[in-house]
């Protein structure tokens, strides 16, 4: 394993590996190493933890520039000194375990407040990247209006280390809301209406434990007085709705041997929740559902006592044929034995374009082979 302390050292290491035709994988915080299991053991593992400096923090410009190995938790603490926060809502369980800026960008990390917030790719204002042959490339700048190199920042978001190694990034910051309030509504039927309602929720999440009933939790944020009146309005609008504290499952992924990521249009969410309950009954296998009312869900398949391979295959096939293909279902995380036995990706729209970009950035296929979308 190599642990560079500067972008120049990272560039030298990558350039040498390129000349020796060695494959490379990057280790950030290691919290997503079970997601998208790599197809091959890398020739060289690069620990990016040495590049963890805060390069610039400008609260007035709402910009934070840091090394890719800085942890999200540390960067949030820095932003808080200016009463600000990182705009994307990074998942709490991964942040608590040390996920890094580079890892969060590479995996296109998301959390519950995706409703009112810009997606991560819009918040990454600039990146410094070491390309497959060791060349250092820079895009964007710390100034919000500078859009030069915008595409490279977007390309790196969700690239899973397959297009280049992120050495540092500039992120846009946002003012930290004064407080948050939560309301629980039984079932999933109210979720769509709640998203578009006048209370302007910051998040609407749905959780259903295996064998249980689904519940919807609406979160609003802002000034104390406004949060109180908006939570009251939700309680008065929906039968059975009750104020609650932040649920223990909030911003945490389903805990199960296999996680399937299912995406569906928000209008179909109640049907999907019902379909999962029926599927669970039919196959007699526990399925946990958790995610955003916007239609992006993690399905946790199985328990620790049984082999989830067959159940995973059945759930994937059923969902892909359900609702006239209005739903996409891919495996996010699974033991290698399951991953190899199921069609983890299914049909990926735009895969040809992704292949072309990969071939241009990494013609020799040395960067994180097998780790990208569709096994790129
Ligand atoms: C589509 C998608 C959605 C997700 N949604 C959620 C969610 O809703 N909730 C949740 O809890 N988690 C989610 N995750 C996982 C979450 O993003 C990760 O747990 C975390 O942010 C990764 O940080 P890490 O430092 O631990 O990365 P690691 O586990 O160390 O690495 C993860 C990947 O990123 C690459 N990588 C790491 N650092 C760099 C770098 N500097 N340059 C280039 N590549 C690098 C690695 O090679 C590897 O492929 C999601 C992941 C994906 C792909």
> Does residue 229 register a pLDDT over 50?
yes
> Does residue 127 register a pLDDT over 80?
yes
Mean pLDDT of all residues belonging to the chain: 89
Contact of 99 with 145, CB cutoff 8 Å: no
pLDDT score recorded for residue 297 = 93
Closest CA to 75 of 29, 116, 36: 29
Tokens in use for 212?
A: 């249980």
CB of residue 30 inside a 6 A radius of ligand 1: yes
Q: What is the longest distance spanned by two Cα atoms in the chain?
A: 66
pLDDT band at 254 (very low <50, low <70, confident <90, very high): confident
Q: Output phi, psi for 120, to 5 deg.
A: -50, -40
| Burial letters 231-262, b for 16+ CB under 10 A, else e | beebbebbeebeeeeeeebbbbbbebbbbbbb
Tokens in use for 127?
A: 């990146």
pTM (2 d.p.): 0.85
pLDDT score recorded for residue 80 = 94
Q: Which atom of ligand 1 is nearest to the CA of 104?
A: 21
pLDDT band at 152 (very low <50, low <70, confident <90, very high): confident
pLDDT score recorded for residue 143 = 43
Q: Which atom of ligand 1 is nearest to the CA of 100?
A: 25
pLDDT band at 302 (very low <50, low <70, confident <90, very high): confident
pLDDT band at 259 (very low <50, low <70, confident <90, very high): very high
The tens digit of pLDDT for each residue in 317-368 reads 999 988 656 788 999 888 888 888 899 888 888 889 889 889 999 999 999 8
Cα–Cα distance between 289 and 307 in angstroms, integer? 19
State percent of the chain over pLDDT 90. 64
**Residue from 17, 45, 109, 112 to probe ligand 1 pocket by mutation (most atoms less than 8 Å from CB):** 109
- Which residue, judged by its Cα, is nearest atom 17 of ligand 1? 109
Cα–Cα distance between 173 and 192 in angstroms, integer? 28
Residue with token string 């590996």: 17
């Amino acid at each position: 394993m190599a642990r560079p302390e500067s972008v120049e050292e990272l560039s030298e290491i990558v350039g040498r590996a390129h000349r020796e035709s060695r494959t490379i994988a990057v280790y950030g915080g290691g919290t997503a190493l079970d997601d998208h299991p790599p197809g091959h053991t890398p020739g060289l593992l690069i620990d990016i933890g040495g590049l963890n400096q805060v390069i610039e923090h400008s609260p007035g410009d709402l910009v934070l520039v840091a090394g890719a190995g800085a942890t999200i938790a540390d960067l949030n603490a820095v932003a808080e000194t200016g009463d600000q926060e990182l705009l994307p809502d990074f998942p709490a369980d991964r942040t608590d375990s040390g996920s890094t800026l580079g890892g969060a960008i590479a995996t296109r990390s998301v959390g519950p407040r995706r409703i009112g917030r810009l997606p991560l790719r819009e918040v990454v204002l600039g990146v410094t990247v070491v390309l497959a042959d060791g060349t250092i490339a820079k895009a964007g700048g710390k100034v919000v209006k500078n859009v030069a190199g915008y595409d490279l920042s977007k390309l790196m978001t969700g690239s899973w280390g397959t297009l280049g190694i992120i050495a540092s990034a500039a992120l846009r910051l946002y003012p930290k809301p004064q407080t948050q309030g939560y309301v629980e509504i039984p079932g999933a039927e109210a979720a769509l209406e709640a998203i578009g309602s006048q209370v302007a929720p910051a998040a609407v999440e749905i959780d259903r434990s295996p064998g249980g009933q689904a519940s919807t939790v609406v979160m609003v944020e802002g000034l104390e007085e406004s949060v109180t009146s908006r939570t009251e309005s939700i309680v008065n609008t929906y039968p059975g709705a009750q104020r609650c504290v932040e649920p223990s499952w909030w911003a945490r992924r389903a805990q199960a041997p296999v996680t399937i990521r299912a995406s569906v249009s928000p209008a179909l969410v109640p049907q999907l929740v019902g379909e999962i309950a029926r599927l669970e009954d039919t196959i007699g296998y526990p399925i946990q559902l958790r995610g955003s009312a916007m239609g992006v869900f993690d399905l946790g398949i199985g328990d620790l006592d049984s082999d989830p391979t067959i159940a995973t295959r059945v759930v994937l096939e059923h969902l892909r044929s359900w609702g006239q293909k209005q739903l996409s279902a891919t495996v996010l995380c699974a033991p290698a034995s399951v991953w190899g036995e199921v069609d983890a990706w299914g049909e990926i729209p735009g895969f040809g374009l992704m292949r072309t970009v990969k071939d241009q950035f990494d013609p020799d296929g040395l960067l994180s082979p097998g780790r990208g979308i569709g096994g790129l």
